[in-house]
Amino acid sequence: MNAPLTLFEKVWANHLVIDADPSLLYADLHLVHEVTSPQAFAGLKASRRTVRRPDLTIGTVDHGIPTTNRALGIRDPLSKRQIDAMVENCREHGITLFGLDDPRQGIVHVVGPEQGLTQPGLLVVCGDSHTSTHGAFGALAFGIGTTEVEHVLATQTIWQARPQTMAVEVEGSLPWGVAAKDLILGIIAQIGVSGGARHVIEYRGETIHDLTMEQRMTICNMSIEGGARAGMIAPDETTIRYIEGRPFAPKGKQWEEAVEAWEQLVTDEDATFDKVAEIDAGRLVPHVSWGVNPAQTVPVTGQVPSPDSYDDPLQRDAAVRALEYMALRPGTPILDIAIDHVFLGSCTNGRIEDLRAAAKVLEGRKVDSRVNAVVVPGSMQVKAQAEAEGLHDVFESAGFSWRDAGCSSCLAMNPDVIPAGERCASTSNRNYEGRQGRGARTHLVSPAMAAAAAVAGHFVDVREWEGS
C-alpha cells in the first residue's frame, strides 16, 4: 500500500527529472508572451542555443497590444518593437503563435484552456504570475521569470524548491449575487497576501466541486494574490466535459486513456496538508477592495476601515498609505464611493460567463453619464462567442465600449491607461498603486458588481438588483 498523496504531490512526482532540493522538473507546456520573453530569446541566441521543444511551446500577444483600431497597427514604437520581436522569435524557432491577426489571439491564460492545451496533470509554466489560472484543471502551473523562460526554452525543464501543501476547504453554497471573484477575494482577505507563500494551494470541498470551469479559473488565477506558488483543483466530470472536443484535446483512443489518467488525479483520502484554511462560502457577500493590495477588501455593505483597526503596526502603516493613495476616509460607506471608470476583462474575469453575468445586469439599463465603461474580452474567441449571443448589443446599448482581446487596463501597458486621480471599478486582479496607470485608483470587484457600478456611478450591492 502506497502512502496517501495529495493531488499536488502526484503531479509533482510525475514530472521529476531529478528528485532533490531543488528538484528538476519537466515542463509539458510553456506559454510565451511578448513582454517577458524577448530577453530570453536573445539570451538563447547569445549562447548559441536553440528551443528544445517548440512543439510544447505556444505564443500569444496580449500585454502590450491595442484593443481598438488594430488595422491601423501599433502606434507605440516600443510596443511595436516588442510585438515584432515576438513574431520574429516564434518564426525563427518554429513556435506556433496566436498573433494579432489570428482569430485565436487572446490573453495567454484564457487561450490555453480555451484551445484545450491546458489539461489535468500537466506541468505548465509561463513568464507571468497568473499562470496559476491553469491549476483549475488539476495542472501544476506557476509563473516564472525571464531567466527561467530562457532555461525552459533551452532545456524544457525548471528547477524548483519543493513547495509545501495547503488546503483551502470551502463549504456552503455561494449565495445569490455572490461570484467566484468574491469567493477568492474572501479567501485572500482571510489568509492575507502572503498566506500562501512557499505553498501550493488545493481548493477543495463541495462548493469548489459545484463551480464551473470558468469560475474555477477565476479562483486559481488569484492564488498568486495570496502569495501561493500555485493553486489547484482536482479534475472531475466538469473538467472533462469542458476539455472534450477542444482543438488541442486528445482524440479517439488517446481521449479515453487521458480520461482514465485524469481520474486518478485526486488527493487520496488519508493524505494530509501542511496547512489548512476553512471558508464558509454561505456567509460571503460581494467584496470591494478599498486599498492597494488584494487583501484590503471589505463587503460592499461595509465601510472604509480605520488604520487603527489593525493590530500589526506594519499593516497599520500600510493602511495609512493606502488610504492616502486611494483618497478615502475611514468610515466612508463603500456604497458612497463614486467611480469614473469600469474595466470589465482580464485573465481573472474576461471569459464568456463573466461577460454574461455583466450583460445580465446591464440589460435595459444605461451607464451613468459620468462613467467611462469598457469591455475587453479575454480572447477573440470569447469576443466571437459573445457576439453570437448578442451580448455586444447589450454592452453597446448600455454605453460600454466593445473592444478586441488583450490584457488592457489590468496593467495598462497598452493605451488603455486610467488617468491619475480617477477611480476605476475593475474586474482584474491587482489594485496596486499605479497598476492601471500612475495615480489611478483601482477597486477590485466581480463582473456583475462592475456592471452595476457602471450604471449607478457608484458602488451598489448587486444582490439588490439581480433578478429584478
Partner 1 sequence: MRPVTTITGRMVPLDRSDVDTDQIIPQQFLKRIERDGYGEFLFYNWAHTDDGTPSSDFIINDPVRQGAKVLVTGPNFGCGSSREHAPWAIQQWGFDAVITPSAADIFRNNSSNVGLLVVELPQEVVSQLVDLAATPGAEVTIDLESQTVTADGIEEHFDFDPTAKDRLLRGLDPIGVTLTHEELISAHEQARDDRLPTTVEAGASTP
Separation in Å, CA 314 to CA 42, 317, 319, 324, 453: 41, 5, 9, 16, 32
Residue placing its CB nearer to partner 1 in the complex, 286 or 345: 345
CA angle 10, 13, 15 (to 5 degrees): 115
318 binds partner 1 (CB under 8 A): yes
- Interacting residues with partner 1 between 327 and 346 (CB under 8 A): none
128 binds partner 1 (CB under 8 A): yes
Residue type, 48: R
Q: Which of 65, 168, 211, 258 binds partner 1 (CB under 8 A)?
A: 258
- Is-contact 202 140, C-beta < 8 A? no
Please choose, out of 81-89, 280-288, 364-372, 451-459, the segment that lies near partner 1 by the rule CB under 8 A.
81-89
157 binds partner 1 (CB under 8 A): yes
67 binds partner 1 (CB under 8 A): no
Angle between the 352-362 and 380-388 helix axes, to the nearest 10 degrees?
Answer: 40
223 binds partner 1 (CB under 8 A): no
Pairwise CA distance, residues 349 & 219, whole Å: 10
Count of C-beta atoms within a 10 Å radius of residue 73: 10
Please choose, out of 181-189, 330-338, 351-359, 410-418, the segment that lies near partner 1 by the rule CB under 8 A.
410-418
172 binds partner 1 (CB under 8 A): no
143 binds partner 1 (CB under 8 A): yes
198 binds partner 1 (CB under 8 A): yes
Pairwise CA distance, residues 279 & 342, whole Å: 29
Please choose, out of 1-9, 222-230, 303-311, 346-354, the segment that lies near partner 1 by the rule CB under 8 A.
222-230
Residue placing its CB nearer to partner 1 in the complex, 64 or 286: 64
Binders of partner 1: how many residues, by CB under 8 A?
90
Residue placing its CB nearer to partner 1 in the complex, 159 or 457: 159
310 binds partner 1 (CB under 8 A): no
Residue placing its CB nearer to partner 1 in the complex, 58 or 266: 58
Q: Which of 367, 411, 418, 455 binds partner 1 (CB under 8 A)?
A: 411
443 binds partner 1 (CB under 8 A): no
Q: Which residue has the cell 493524505?
A: 271
156 binds partner 1 (CB under 8 A): yes
Q: Which DSSP string do the residues of 213-247 spell out, in sequence order? A: HHHHHHHHHGGGGGT-SEEE----HHHHHHHTT-T
HSE (side-chain half, CA atoms, 13 Å) at 29:
26
- Interacting residues with partner 1 between 24 and 53 (CB under 8 A): 24, 26, 28-29, 35-36, 38-39, 42-43, 47, 49
Q: Which of 70, 159, 175, 335 binds partner 1 (CB under 8 A)?
A: 159
145 binds partner 1 (CB under 8 A): yes
Q: Is 320 helix (H, G, I), strand (E, B) or coil?
A: helix
- Interacting residues with partner 1 between 279 and 308 (CB under 8 A): 293
- Interacting residues with partner 1 between 86 and 105 (CB under 8 A): 94-96
Residue placing its CB nearer to partner 1 in the complex, 241 or 283: 241
Q: Which residues of 25-58 are buried (b: 16+ CB within 10 A; e: fewer)?
A: bbbbbbbbbbbbbbbbbebbeeeeeebebbebbb
Residue placing its CB nearer to partner 1 in the complex, 39 or 68: 39
Pairwise CA distance, residues 120 & 57, whole Å: 17
Q: Is 414 helix (H, G, I), strand (E, B) or coil?
A: coil
Q: Which DSSP string do the residues of 343-372 spell out, in sequence order? A: EEEHHHH-SHHHHHHHHHHHTT----TT-E
